[in-house]
Amino acid sequence: MSAEFNQDHLLSPLDKTYIVICGIITALAISYVTFLYFEYRVTNNLWETTFVSPEQFWAEVPRWEWKTVNNVK
Predicted pLDDT of residue 21: 98
Q: Classify residue 68: in a domain, yes or no.
A: no
The pLDDT mean for the chain works out to 81
Q: Classify residue 23: in a domain, yes or no.
A: yes
Percent of the chain with pLDDT over 70: 82
Distance CA 42, CA 48 (A): 10
Q: Is the pLDDT of residue 66 over 80?
A: no
Domain residues for the domain of 41 are 14-60
Each residue's pLDDT tens digit, 2-21: 556 666 677 888 999 999 99
Q: Classify residue 44: in a domain, yes or no.
A: yes
Domains: count for the chain: 1
| Gyration radius (Cα) of the chain, Å | 29
**The whole model's pTM is what?**
0.52
Residues 57, 51 contacting (CB under 8 angstroms): yes
Q: Classify residue 50: in a domain, yes or no.
A: yes
Q: Classify residue 3: in a domain, yes or no.
A: no
Predicted pLDDT of residue 73: 67
Predicted pLDDT of residue 29: 97
